[in-house]
Amino acid sequence: MTELKLPSIDYAALAPILIMLGAALVGVLVEAFVPRRLRNTVQLALALLAVLVALTMVILNADDRLITAGQAIAVDGPTLFLQGSILILAAMALLLVGERTVERGGAFVAHAAVTAESADDRRQAEGMGGTTEVYPLVTFAIGGMLIFVAANDLLTMFIALEVFSLPLYLLCALARRRRLLSQEAALKYFMLGAYASAFFLFGVALIYGFTAGIPGRGAGVDFATVHAAVSESSSSPVLLFAGMALLAIGLLFKAAAAPFHVWTPDVYQGAPTPVTGFMAACTKVAAFGALLRVFHVAFAGASWDFTPVLGAVAVLTMLVGAVLAVTQTDIKRLLAYSSIANAGYLLVGVLAPSKEGLSGTMFYLVAYGFSVLAAFAVVTLVRDADGEATHLSRWAGLGRRSPFFAAIFTFILLAFAGIPLTSGFTSKFAVFAPALDANQAWLVIAGVLTSMVLAFPYLRVVVMMWLSEPGDATPTVTVPGALTSAALVIGVLATLVLGVAPAPLLDLANGAAEFVR
C-alpha cells in the first residue's frame, strides 16, 4: 500500500494570498451580519487593512526564493515585486471604490437586480447607498491576481485566472447610472472571457500531451516539466506550437492585446469608473506577470519560435491602439485604446530575453498603473446632472472653468504621451533599450512611430481643455472627497517622481528580475 505524502507548504510565503482570500470570505460574512448603515465603512476598512497586511507580508518575504505547495506556487523576485505592485495599486483603486461624496451613494448601483430604466432604477440613481458587495468581489479579484503572478504550473494559473475574472465580470455590471450600458459591457466581457478561458484550458491539455514524450519522466503541466519537454520531448512539435498559441490567446486577452482587444473599449466605457481603473492597472500587472513567467520560464527554450509571432502581435497592438485612439469621442474609450497601445509597448519588454527586459517591463507596469488610476480619478470628478460627462466635447473649456484639475489631467496625458520628466518617458525607455540590445530594432521603431501617433489624441484633449471657451454644456468638476483626493495625490506624485528620479524603483525591479526555476 503506497503511503500518501502531502506536499510541503510554506505558509509564510503564501501569506499575502491567504490574507486576501480570507478577507474576502470575512467580507461575505459582513454582508450577512453587519447592519446596512455600517457596511460601507466596515467593508472598506477591512479591504484596506487586508491589503496593508498582505503588503507587509510581501515585504517580509522579500528574500524568499522557493517553490511551494507541491510545485504549484513560485515565490521569487518577480512574484514578490508584482504582488507588491498589485497590492499598492489595488489600495488606490479601493479608495476610488469607497468614495461616497463625489456622487451621493457612490458609483455603484444600490440594488444589483433592479431593472434598468425602471422607476426603481431612477430612484436608486438619485442617491441610495451603493451596494457593498463590491468589496468582497474586489478582494477576491486581488487574491486571484496574487496567485496568477505566482503560479508555477498551468492548472494553478487557470484557476487563478477564473478566481480574478469572475468577480470582474460582476463588478462591470454594477454601475449606478447608464445601467444598460454597464450590463452590456459585463455580458460582452463575460462571453469573450469565457472563450478566452476555454482557449487557455485547451492549450493546457495540448501542452500536457506534449510533455508525455519526455523519456523517463511523467507528463505534467508544471513549468519545470514543460521547460524540459521543449528540448527533450519526442512528441510532435505541433502540440507544442498549438498549445503555446492557445495559452497566448488566453493571456493576451487579459492583457488587452490585439486582435484580442475588442472587449476593452466597451467594458472600459460601461463599467463603473473605479472598476475600470482597477482593471486598467491591476489586471494588466497580473496578465503581464503571467506572460513573463510562461514565456521566460516554461517556454524559454522555444523563444526562437514564439518571438516573431508575439512581435507581430505587439506591432499590431500598438497600431490598433494608436490609430483607433485618434477616432474616439469618449474619454473612457480613449483611455481604453491608450491601454491597448500600452499593452503593445509592454510586449516589447516581454520579448527582450534579458534581465533588463524583465525589470523594464515590471517598472512599466507600476508606472502605468499609477498614471492610469490618477486619470480615472479625474474622470470621476467631471460631472453634470446625469453623472460623469465622458464625451470629449463636454471637456471643451474645462481649463478655464477648473484650471487646477485640468492641469493635473494635462500632466497625466503628457505622461501617457511619453514626454520627458514623466514616468511615461522613463518606462518606455526601460522597455525599448533592452529590445534594442536584443536586436529587436523593428519593435522599437514601431513603438516610437505609434507613440507619435498616439500623442495626437492626448494633445487634442489638452488643446480642447485650454484653448476652447467654456459653454453651457461644459460640466463642473466636483470637489473630490478625501478618498479620491488621496488616490489622485498618490498617482500624480508617483507619475512625477518616477519621471524625475526613477532609479530606486528601477534598481528594485532589476534586483527582483530573476525567476526561480
Torsion, CA 354, CA 77, CA 92, CA 324, rounded to 10? 20
Q: With contact defined as beta carbons under 8 Å apart, do 392 and 464 qualify?
A: yes
3-state SS class at 107 = coil
Mean pLDDT of all residues belonging to the chain: 91
> Is the predicted pLDDT of residue 252 greater than 80, yes or no?
yes
Distances (CA, A) of 13 to 79, 108, 298, 331, 515: 11, 35, 22, 41, 15
> Is the predicted pLDDT of residue 234 greater than 90, yes or no?
no
Q: With contact defined as beta carbons under 8 Å apart, do 459 and 417 qualify?
A: yes
**Among candidate residues 61, 79, 8, the one with its CA nearest the CA of residue 297:** 79
**Among candidate residues 206, 211, 204, the one with its CA nearest the CA of residue 239:** 206
**What value, to the nearest 5°, has the Cα angle with vertex 219 and ends 215 and 220?**
140
Across the range 414-425, mean pLDDT stands at 93
Query: Judging by DSSP bridges, how do beta strands 387-388 and 66-68 pair with one another?
Result: unpaired
Amino acid in the structure at residue 86 = I
> Maximum CA pair distance of the chain?
84
> Is the predicted pLDDT of residue 238 greater than 60, yes or no?
yes
Rounded to whole angstroms, the Cα distance separating 116 from 180 reads 6
Residue 176's pLDDT band, with cuts at 50, 70 and 90, is confident
User: pTM above 0.75?
Assistant: yes
Residue 2's pLDDT band, with cuts at 50, 70 and 90, is low
DSSP 214-282: STTS----BHHHHHHHHHH--S-HHHHHHHHHHHHHHHHHHHT-TTS-THHHHHHHHS-HHHHHHIIII
Rounded to whole angstroms, the Cα distance separating 32 from 24 reads 13
pLDDT attached to residue 110: 81
pLDDT attached to residue 476: 79
Rounded to whole angstroms, the Cα distance separating 132 from 234 reads 54
Contacts of 359 (CB under 8 A, 6+ apart): 430, 506, 509, 510, 512, 513
Contacts of 403 (CB under 8 A, 6+ apart): none
Q: What is the pLDDT of residues 39-94, one digit of tens each?
A: 999 999 999 999 999 999 999 999 888 998 888 999 998 999 999 999 999 999 99
CB-count burial class (<10 Å; 0-12, 13-18, 19+) for 147: buried
Across the range 351-359, mean pLDDT stands at 89
Q: CB 319: neighbour CB atoms within 10 A?
A: 18
Residue 1's pLDDT band, with cuts at 50, 70 and 90, is low
Contacts of 210 (CB under 8 A, 6+ apart): 229, 233, 235, 236, 239, 240, 243
> Is the predicted pLDDT of residue 483 greater than 90, yes or no?
yes
> Is the predicted pLDDT of residue 336 greater than 80, yes or no?
yes
Rounded to whole angstroms, the Cα distance separating 447 from 321 reads 11
**Among candidate residues 45, 44, 55, 65, the one with its CA nearest the CA of residue 20:** 55
DSSP 454-495: HHHHHHHHHHHHHHSPP-TTPPEEPPP-HHHHHHHHHHHHHH
**Which three cell numbers, joined as nine digits, stand for 373?**
488610476
Annotate 364-377 with three-state secondary structure: HHHHHHHHHHHHHH
String of b and e for 414-433 (b: at least 16 CB within 10 Å)? bbbbbeeebbbbbbbbbbbb
Q: What is the pLDDT of residues 120-132, one digit of tens each?
A: 777 777 767 788 9
pLDDT attached to residue 464: 92
Q: CB 402: neighbour CB atoms within 10 A?
A: 22
**Which three cell numbers, joined as nine digits, stand for 90?**
489595488
**Which three cell numbers, joined as nine digits, stand for 170?**
460582476
**Among candidate residues 374, 333, 338, 365, the one with its CA nearest the CA of residue 489:** 374
Q: With contact defined as beta carbons under 8 Å apart, do 256 and 343 qualify?
A: yes
**Among candidate residues 323, 346, 325, the one with its CA nearest the CA of residue 335:** 325
**Among candidate residues 292, 374, 311, 358, the one with its CA nearest the CA of residue 506:** 358
Rounded to whole angstroms, the Cα distance separating 191 from 182 reads 14
Of residues 345 and 178, which shows the higher confidence score?
345
